[in-house]
Amino acid sequence: MTLNDFVQIRLVLVATAVVIWVVFFANYPPVHDFFHKLRHSLYVIACH
């Protein structure tokens, strides 16, 4: 059984969105602190 291209692209986008959400909204302190400092240092993404 193979998935067509549309389904494969959709799965990749969903997986990417989940990873990005976890990175930016993680409550696990080491992960949160690292990416919080990264956001401040890049001046790209406003965090507060």
Q: pTM (2 decimals)?
A: 0.53
Q: What is the pLDDT of residue 47?
A: 66
pLDDT tens, residue order, the chain (48 aa): 567 988 999 999 999 998 888 777 778 888 888 878 887 888 776 666
- 4: which DSSP letter? -
Q: What is the pLDDT of residue 38?
A: 81
Structure tokens at 47: 């965090």
Residue ranges covered by each domain of the chain: 5-42
Q: What is the pLDDT of residue 48?
A: 65
Give the Å distances, CA to CA, from 2 to 6, 15, 38, 41: 12, 18, 39, 43
Q: What is the pLDDT of residue 1?
A: 56
